[in-house]
A and B are shown apart, each in its own frame.
Chain A
């Protein structure tokens, strides 16, 4: 299996990376005394320090109540109880408005730092959470049968020789498949402070490190499956863990900011994200997740609350990013596995749907509306038809943000969107 050779490459590369690695300053605000060992930036132009924050809204966000076509009669008719009324909407133009709790997002929109790509989806939509996520995560209708997640494919294509363990980080318990890769596996941790192994004596730590190293002679004949292959993979994880645990704890523990992040999981995840990016550990992609969007019943109160939490946390993050040098190198993309049915159901909720807008935020983003709003009357079994393939958003990020080649990652070329200049 080809992953095995990559795996070997990665291991030998890890050793090499340490040799060419440099020392970089951690923290741009008063923490300059803290030094961390990090990746020496490759001089490959403006894209060399750019990062992407992927925020996944799990459960199927009701995007029609996030960016609401308040002036559309079809919207009002389909949602007598659930709709965002014209007097509630934070108007973007005379047709659409943001959910009333997205005040921070409305301000960012006014600032030109929020781009809304409307009607994102893909052909032959699937209304299963899990299968639809697989398509979003792999950018391929075959899902995980097509190989690693799209971020894994991006790393393989854009930075094949860089083996910084912090290249891809998921802040949370279980990483989504988008960051799955055997060659560039993600770091994942929920609480940075406990991201360490508590060996009781220093000899233990030495032995713990050593045990993670492969003895080439023992495992070189590892089968593609089976115990040896699995062992080798887990040893790779342990090498990464040992290398990164201290760096990550330092970066997050020492991070100071005047911005008050909300005291909830998303706020904490974004604070950790800011700290990691500010430390410039070589992270290219940070993945985070917010759950609770599967609003089949009594949606309005639940969704209002979700929108408020999303707005509070993202606003804090974007405020923080505005005052930091790293800020110009960060783009946030917000996505969900599908939108929800146009017509509300009998339980004051909505069932699984199809197309939905994606949000792109950043200092370097060309704000405003992109793509085309789907029709609320020309529907596919009650659901919005997509107008922009979500892979065009990925493709634009790959080409324009990372200076890589979307065809190598996505296996095809999609129209370039103008949310990045």
Chain B
């Protein structure tokens, strides 16, 4: 026997050994050896969570059966034949034309334009969310979302939906193409030019905004350019502007055709030349590789891995497909530090819950829910995009996620979220200890409650999303969901089997044993209250279904349901 441990044995060791801080089996160095990861449910679910938008256990079984190579090939190369929604510029009549009209009419026209624009925006977001939920081209949608968070623009500043939607479609068209095409296109994208004020970047009066972010956030990162480079790059970008309706326009007269020195390269650079210079920097492929790896893995890559992936990106001319294929085949992508340890983004959560529940939730419900949780599509908070990871979870957003899952399950209503009954009730659980008389009046007066509700509806602080959710609910939507029938079909009846099923089906990770035990206790308690013997819950009809949905609500509200 030779003393070389075969890759197969190594992977067995990896599976059997409890991995402590000092035992790291799969290092970057070993990842360069063509060593395949064992293709099992854990790894298949991990790939579906990160590259797609998760799935039910049947999807995971199918992914295992398909095999890793075929699955990756499908994700990369199998396009869905989808019609993109029609979009048009929605513009006010010219100021002169408006002036001719009576005041009332002017106001009406302006309101109408705002409404139509808002509707176009919501429809597009709904369409995109629906693509993700249906999941027949998930990697394309995943990468479009990634680029949206990197090449960020927001409808809040751009003001009109048309250029924003066109930008989104541009990102989608190139999402799995080459990064160079994306960078080159985004540097002349109308929404981006509007968002970063390049429409007023003129010869003799440069505006640095686009030039700076192009190097800082889109391609190189801080430390890889100087302030002088920013100033010179701004000159190269002069003249790139938009027409009134939001199409690209090059204003030759405003372009500074003089000589500039950007990143050490001298010449009469224009915007395209600038992009070319940036792409040639050593820092560029490393920056992009780091962004992508961090997004998919949830932690920043170490230097060795970054070197390897940066080099690979350069060698493959910034093409995304080979890069992603390498990543999805890399055993390091499946290491313990990473699997199940990423906080789901709001879009992941809303879309993932809908997919795992198998509920056809209206896209506007999912989109508004994600917005409420901090991720409004087409409106990232700033040019850096969304801070992914643990920052998604605050004390309040964690509770809101549960409430939104309850909404999708049809057992929580918007009014329940706003209802302050627990405050209005007498302080049963908080007796006064200083001997003062307990007041029998309600805690909050009707006026105070009304005022609070009014503030919520006023459109401030997410009020808009609440309104959209309320509308969906008031339209009479209810989920088509029958846990009882599903369990009967599977022949699962005992408390333990039911809890295991719900946990495995609804979580993107494997639940720890203590969670399992606590939920089994909950389940048993509920069954006993209904005076039913273990194994017979499903015979209780609607009462059983109600308990099952409450169990599902609980599961989806837990910290476990926020990870993937």
A residues with a Cβ closer than 8 A to B are 22-23, 33-37, 58-59, 126-131, 165, 170, 173-175, 186-191, 193-201, 203-204, 207-208, 210-212, 214-215, 217-219, 221, 223-231, 233-235, 237-238, 240-241, 244-246, 249-250, 253-254, 256, 263-265, 268, 291, 294, 296-297, 345-349, 351-352, 381
Q: A165-B395, A223-B336 are in contact. Are A230 and B341 (CB under 8 A)?
A: yes
CA distance A198 to B236 in the complex (A): 55
A168 to chain B, nearest CB (A): 11
B245 to chain A, nearest CB (A): 20
CA distance A187 to B387 in the complex (A): 18
Across-interface contacts of B433 in A (CB, < 8 A): 22-23
B133 proximal to A (CB < 8 A): no
On whether the beta carbons of A347 and B207 are closer than 8 Å, the reply is yes
A100 to chain B, nearest CB (A): 25
Which B residue's beta carbon lies closest to that of A227? Answer: B340
Across-interface contacts of A22 in B (CB, < 8 A): 433
Sample of 9 further A-B pairs with CB below 8 A, known A200-B550, A230-B390, A245-B395: A33-B436, A186-B394, A187-B394, A190-B461, A194-B396, A249-B423, A250-B443, A297-B200, A346-B200
Across-interface contacts of A210 in B (CB, < 8 A): 518
Across-interface contacts of A254 in B (CB, < 8 A): 443-444, 448
CA distance A29 to B422 in the complex (A): 23
Q: A207-B522, A223-B337, A237-B395 are in contact. Are A201 and B559 (CB under 8 A)?
A: no
B residues with a Cβ closer than 8 A to A are 18-21, 196-197, 200-202, 204-209, 212, 216, 222, 227, 230, 299, 336-343, 374, 381-384, 387, 390-391, 393-400, 402-403, 406, 411-412, 416-420, 422-423, 427, 430, 432-434, 436, 439, 441, 443-444, 448-449, 452-453, 455-456, 458, 460-462, 466, 509, 512-515, 517-519, 522, 525-526, 550, 553-554, 557-560, 562-563
Q: A174-B391, A226-B341 are in contact. Are A218 and B554 (CB under 8 A)?
A: no
7 pairs from A and B in contact (CB 8 Å cutoff): A127-B227, A191-B455, A208-B554, A224-B21, A237-B393, A241-B395, A346-B202
Quick one: which of A37, A244, A253, A346 contacts B444, CB cutoff 8 A?
A253
Q: A128-B222, A200-B411, A223-B19 are in contact. Are A246 and B394 (CB under 8 A)?
A: no
On whether the beta carbons of B559 and A193 are closer than 8 Å, the reply is no
CA distance A347 to B202 in the complex (A): 8
B524 to chain A, nearest CB (A): 11
On whether the beta carbons of B417 and A346 are closer than 8 Å, the reply is no
On whether the beta carbons of B563 and A230 are closer than 8 Å, the reply is yes
Which B residue's beta carbon lies closest to that of A233? Answer: B390
On whether the beta carbons of A188 and B418 are closer than 8 Å, the reply is no
B419 to chain A, nearest CB (A): 8
Across-interface contacts of A223 in B (CB, < 8 A): 19-21, 336-337
B251 to chain A, nearest CB (A): 13
CA distance A204 to B402 in the complex (A): 12
Which B residue's beta carbon lies closest to that of A271? Answer: B455
Across-interface contacts of A219 in B (CB, < 8 A): 512, 514
Across-interface contacts of B204 in A (CB, < 8 A): 346
CA distance A110 to B519 in the complex (A): 62
On whether the beta carbons of A197 and B402 are closer than 8 Å, the reply is yes
Count contacts between A and B, CB distance < 8 Å: 258
B396 to chain A, nearest CB (A): 4
On whether the beta carbons of A126 and B222 are closer than 8 Å, the reply is yes
On whether the beta carbons of A234 and B398 are closer than 8 Å, the reply is yes
Q: A194-B418, A246-B422 are in contact. Are A226 and B336 (CB under 8 A)?
A: yes
B231 to chain A, nearest CB (A): 9
Residue among B196, B207, B340, B553 with the highest chain A CB neighbour number at 10 A: B207
Across-interface contacts of A190 in B (CB, < 8 A): 396, 461-462
CA distance A294 to B512 in the complex (A): 46
Across-interface contacts of B393 in A (CB, < 8 A): 234, 237
A198 to chain B, nearest CB (A): 4
CA distance A33 to B445 in the complex (A): 13
Which A residue's beta carbon lies closest to that of B207? Answer: A347
CA distance A167 to B444 in the complex (A): 25
On whether the beta carbons of A129 and B382 are closer than 8 Å, the reply is yes
CA distance A128 to B430 in the complex (A): 49
Across-interface contacts of B430 in A (CB, < 8 A): 23, 35-37
Which A residue's beta carbon lies closest to that of B343? Answer: A230
Across-interface contacts of A221 in B (CB, < 8 A): 18
On whether the beta carbons of A268 and B461 are closer than 8 Å, the reply is yes
On whether the beta carbons of A198 and B423 are closer than 8 Å, the reply is no
Across-interface contacts of A211 in B (CB, < 8 A): 515, 518-519, 554, 558-559
CA distance A200 to B416 in the complex (A): 8
CA distance A210 to B516 in the complex (A): 12
A149 to chain B, nearest CB (A): 12
CA distance A36 to B340 in the complex (A): 38
B494 to chain A, nearest CB (A): 19
Q: A33-B441, A174-B391 are in contact. Are A347 and B205 (CB under 8 A)?
A: yes
A234 to chain B, nearest CB (A): 3
CA distance A198 to B340 in the complex (A): 26
On whether the beta carbons of A175 and B391 are closer than 8 Å, the reply is yes
Q: A253-B423, A346-B207 are in contact. Are A225 and B341 (CB under 8 A)?
A: yes
Residue among A194, A204, A221, A351 with the highest chain B CB neighbour number at 10 A: A194
Quick one: which of A173, A204, A241, A250 contacts B550, CB cutoff 8 A?
A204
CA distance A246 to B427 in the complex (A): 11
Quick one: which of B396, B416, B434, B526 contacts A188, CB cutoff 8 A?
B396
A174 to chain B, nearest CB (A): 6
Q: A175-B391, A234-B393 are in contact. Are A352 and B374 (CB under 8 A)?
A: no
